[in-house]
Each structure stands twice: as structure tokens, then as C-alpha cells.
């Protein structure tokens, strides 16, 4: 790629070339704000992925993301020269983002503080699409127009670098460009209310106040994570249906006879959890009665539904993993719709929702219904995607996506005895497309519920607070810790 820049970017290139010569001084002056920006990107972009950053500047952000393969592109030759000197382990090229052609796709494409300087925004996003594969995440970060006067004032006071801004692009504008370029947004959030790194104060403003409903609209920056719009043509996947079963002997035969064959082929995995009603014997009997079916018996060594699900997912052999509760409050006939959502790409994590259709009499007690509605509001805000029913046991995702969630489990820890939040929070951290699928919820016909309204209710409150801390606050707390060290 040539190292020369022509119209319409020559003026912008000259401006950033001048800034490159003074980069060290400005970096010291604005390092607190840029640390905040880096911390938010690190909470989105998983390490050891391939990353393309368009508008990479001096390359510091790209390097901080710890990619397995990092490629940066910038309009300023001197910025690219500085990046090559400071970060020789990565590749940096000169050119406009709408013109760069690398002949490969990346796991992440990062557009950080780029949109105000782009001549052809639609061309940029179309080029981003060409450098994206089916599971790529496009990360867009830019500024709220409400801060425009403040940023101009900071430039005049020489507290911010003066830059030749062309565009003030809203989050709605970005979503429109994404749609036109064959992309779609997964999440849109506003972050950073106080663009300074002050111990404790930064955490309070950016981790707590910035998440309040009205105040969040005053944030300096917005962040959009997008993906390629799903294309048809994926081959029918194979399916592993996981059934945690404790004291559900009366339901096993129905599960076997009512669960349809799914996808190209399917297996039915029962995880028996220390039952006292003969559930294990009934599972073995059904295996003998149905030699034509792939039915697997697994004896649970730990306790709780979450442990059972994780054990079965590790044993599963097929492409798509789906959970079916053994009480059949959600019927097996609903499962094909979950598989279709995954197969077509319309969803990457399918979450059953019992709160759309009318409930069968006796299916859910009033306090349970009230609690479910409350937690749906809380977790929709936490996940930055609408989730109507967090505790529906029926969920589906690709097995390799589950492996990514499991590999990152140490971030949240083993805190969830149910398994629902472990999966939902893990999917949100990976910015998977989460889609609710309404299901009809029936009354239990055998055995007793394993959920205690009050004891487990308090546990759910704890998990909501824990999730808020990990997803919204800790990224800024870590930054405050670095400030304390300096």
C-alpha cells in the first residue's frame, strides 16, 4: 500500500502528522482518559484474537488488546511510522479505512474515535464488512454531540489535542450505516461520565452514576458492538439435548418419546443428580427400550442444576447444545424453534421466555412471576440486550460458543447454582446476539419444584449485584487501582 495520502485526506493526514511529533507530551497529559478508553475496549475484545484497528494512530490501543494477530491502519504516515517503532510485533499500514484491502478477515474490527474524521462513512462500513467473518465483532466508539462545546473548549485551553473533526455522528446514524452495509448492532451503550482518572471518584461516576437511566444520556462516549447480518445456507447442525434430572422418574419415558430427532442427528443426555425415586433406573430402562436412539446416561458427581448442565456440556458431542428441563414445563415440541434460530444465525444464544403467552393455571406462583419480571428488567439493563425471562431453563447455543464461555468462566467465577446466569453473563461478555424465544409454560405433573422462592430469591439478588459489579463497575475500578499505584 502506498505511503502517500491524497485528497480528500491530505489535510487530516497533515494534522495528525503534526500530532505524531508531539505524541509523548499529549499522551502524558491525557493518559487518564485514554486509560479509561483502553479499559472499556479490553472488557469487550477478548485477548488472543485477531484484531484489525482502523484509525490506529500510534498503535497503543491495538497493542493493549493483546491480539494474536494485530493489524493497524491509519491515514497519517507519521502515526504509522510511530506505531511501527513502538509496536513492531504488529503490522501497520497507511491509507483510508474505506480503501484498505488486506485480503483477510478478523475476529474483531475496532473503530475507536474514527468516525469524526471519515470522508465516506458508508464506504468505511462496507469495507469493514469485507474484513469480517460470520462471528466477527465490530467495535465502534465515538462521542456524544452533547459534549461538542466542552470538547472545543478543552481544545482552546490546550487540555485536549486539536483535531480536524468533519462529522458528528450519532449512535442512530451508526446503526443506519451498519444496516446499509449488511451489518447489525448487537449492543449499544453509553459510558464514561467523568473522562478523568481519579481514584474512587472515577469509579463512582463511571461505574455507578453513568448507568442510571437519565444520567447515562450525559455520558461522553457511546459504544456499539455489531456483527455481520446472518446469511442463509448453513448446513443443518447436529444437536445435543441436555436433561438435568433429579427425582424425575415419572417424566423420563415422556422425555424420550416426546423429544423429536433434531438437526442432522441428535443425542439425549440425561444427567442424574442423586435421586431417591429410581430416576437412574428409569433412564437405564429407557436406553434399553430405545436402542435406535442416542441416549446417554451421566451420573452427576456434584450438586445443583448448574453443575449438571456443565457436566453434560463437557460430555456433549454435537454442534448445538440445548437444555430441556426434566419437569417438561416446557414441552420438547418447542425445541425445533430453538435449533432453527441458531441454524439461521438469527440468534447466537437462544433464551426461552415463559412470560409472553398466558401461563397454564398452577404453572407459576404469583411471587415467582413477580420476581421473574423484576429480574428481567435488571438483567436486560446489565446485559445491554433485552432478556424477558432469565430463569427459563430452556436455552440453546453452539458448542464452540459454550467453550468460549467456559474458557472465560474465571472472570465471573463458579457462583451460579442454577446455570442460567453463568450462560447469560458469559454470552453477554462475548457480545453474542441473545434472542428471546417465547414458549408455553405448563404446570408440573410429577414431583416437586427444586426452587425455593425466598432462599433462592435472595441468591438471585446477590447474583444481580455481583453481575453489575463485574460488567459495569470493575472495568473502572481496575483503572482507579492503576491510578493509585501511580
Sheet hosting strand 221-228, strand order edge to edge: 91-94, 69-74, 50-54, 106-112, 132-143, 221-228, 183-191
Ranges of the chain whose pLDDT falls below 50? 1-2, 479-486
d(CA 251, CA 291): 19
| Phi, psi angle pair for 299, to nearest 5° | -90, 125
Question: What pLDDT, in 10s, does the model give residues 199-230?
Answer: 888 889 999 999 988 899 999 999 999 999 99
CATH 3.90.550.10 in the chain is located at 239-451
d(CA 116, CA 262): 48
**Which pLDDT score, from 0 to 100, does residue 342 have?**
95
Question: What pLDDT, in 10s, does the model give residues 315-366?
Answer: 999 999 999 999 999 999 999 999 999 999 999 999 999 888 777 666 566 6
**Which pLDDT score, from 0 to 100, does residue 365 have?**
64
**Which pLDDT score, from 0 to 100, does residue 34 have?**
85
Alpha helices, DSSP H, located in 87-170 = 121-130, 148-156
At residue 240, the 3 state secondary structure works out as strand
**Which pLDDT score, from 0 to 100, does residue 480 have?**
43
Strands 106-112 and 434-438: unpaired
CATH 3.40.50.150 in the chain is located at 10-229+472-485
Strands 221-228 and 183-191: antiparallel
CATH number for the domain formed by residue range(s) 239-451 = 3.90.550.10
**Which pLDDT score, from 0 to 100, does residue 17 have?**
87
**Which pLDDT score, from 0 to 100, does residue 63 have?**
97
**Which pLDDT score, from 0 to 100, does residue 45 have?**
96
For residue 336, give the C-alpha cell. 425445533
Rounded to two decimals, what is the model's pTM? 0.88
For residue 479, give the C-alpha cell. 483503572
**Which pLDDT score, from 0 to 100, does residue 164 have?**
75
**Which pLDDT score, from 0 to 100, does residue 222 have?**
95
The CATH architecture that domain 10-229+472-485 belongs to is 3-Layer(aba) Sandwich (3.40)
d(CA 140, CA 132): 14
Amino acid at each position: 500500500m502506498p505511503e502517500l495520502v491524497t485528497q480528500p485526506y491530505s489535510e487530516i493526514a497533515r494534522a495528525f502528522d503534526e500530532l505524531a511529533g508531539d505524541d509523548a507530551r499529549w499522551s502524558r497529559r491525557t493518559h487518564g482518559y485514554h486509560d479509561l478508553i483502553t479499559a472499556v475496549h479490553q472488557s469487550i475484545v477478548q485477548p488472543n484474537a485477531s484484531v484489525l484497528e482502523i484509525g490506529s494512530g500510534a498503535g497503543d490501543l491495538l497493542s493493549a488488546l493483546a491480539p494474536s494477530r494485530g493489524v493497524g491502519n491509519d491515514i497519517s504516515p507519521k502515526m504509522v511510522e510511530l506505531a511501527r517503532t513502538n509496536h513492531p510485533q504488529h503490522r501497520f499500514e497507511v491509507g483510508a479505512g474505506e480503501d484498505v484491502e488486506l485480503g483477510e478477515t478478523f475476529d474483531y474490527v475496532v473503530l475507536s474515535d474514527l468516525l469524526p474524521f471519515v470522508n465516506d462513512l458508508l464506504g468505511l462500513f462496507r469495507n469493514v464488512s469485507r474484513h469480517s467473518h460470520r462471528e466477527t465483532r465490530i467495535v465502534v466508539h465515538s462521542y456524544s454531540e452533547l459534549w461538542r462545546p466542552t470538547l472545543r473548549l478543552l481544545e482552546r485551553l490546550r487540555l485536549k489535542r486539536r483535531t480536524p473533526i468533519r462529522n458528528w455522528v450519532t449512535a442512530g446514524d451508526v446503526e443506519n450505516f451498519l444496516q446499509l452495509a449488511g451489518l447489525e448492532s448487537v449492543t449499544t451503550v453509553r459510558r464514561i461520565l467523568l473522562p478523568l482518572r481519579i481514584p474512587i471518584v472515577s469509579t463512582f461516576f463511571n461505574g455507578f452514576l453513568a448507568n442510571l437511566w437519565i444520567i447515562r444520556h450525559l455520558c461522553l462516549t457511546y459504544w456499539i458492538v455489531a456483527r455481520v447480518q446472518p446469511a442463509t445456507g448453513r448446513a443443518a447442525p447436529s444437536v445435543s439435548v441436555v436433561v438435568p434430572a433429579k427425582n424425575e422418574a415419572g417424566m423420563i419415558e415422556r422425555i424420550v418419546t416426546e423429544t423429536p430427532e433434531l438437526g442432522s442427528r441428535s443425542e439425549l443426555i440425561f444427567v442424574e443428580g442423586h435421586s431417591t425415586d429410581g430416576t437412574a433406573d428409569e433412564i437405564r430402562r429407557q436406553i434399553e427400550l430405545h436402542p435406535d436412539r442416542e441416549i446417554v446416561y451421566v451420573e452427576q458427581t456434584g450438586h445443583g442444576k448448574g453443575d449438571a448442565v456443565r457436566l453434560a456440556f463437557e460430555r456433549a458431542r454435537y454442534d448445538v447444545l440445548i437444555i430441556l428441563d426434566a419437569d417438561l414445563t416446557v414441552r420438547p415440541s418447542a425445541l425445533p424453534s430453538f435449533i432453527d434460530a441458531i441454524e439461521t444465525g438469527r440468534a447466537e444464544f437462544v433464551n426461552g421466555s415463559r412470560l409472553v403467552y398466558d401461563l397454564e393455571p398452577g404453572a407459576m406462583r404469583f411471587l415467582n412471576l413477580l420476581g421473574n419480571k423484576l429480574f428481567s428488567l435488571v438483567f436486560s439493563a446489565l446485559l445491554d440486550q433485552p432478556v424477558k425471562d432469565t430463569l427459563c431453563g430452556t436455552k440453546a447455543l453452539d458448542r464452540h460458543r459454550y467453550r468460549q464461555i467456559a474458557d472465560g468462566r474465571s472472570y465471573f467465577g463458579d457462583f451460579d447454582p442454577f446455570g442460567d446466569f453463568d450462560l447469560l453473563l458469559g454470552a453477554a461478555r462475548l457480545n453474542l446476539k441473545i434472542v428471546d424465544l417465547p414458549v408455553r409454560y405448563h404446570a408440573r405433573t410429577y414431583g416437586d419444584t427444586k426452587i425455593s422462592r425466598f432462599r433462592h430469591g435472595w441468591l438471585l439478588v446477590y447474583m444481580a449485584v455481583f453481575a453489575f459489579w463485574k460488567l459495569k463497575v470493575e472495568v473502572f475500578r481496575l483503572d482507579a487501582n492503576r491510578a493509585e499505584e501511580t
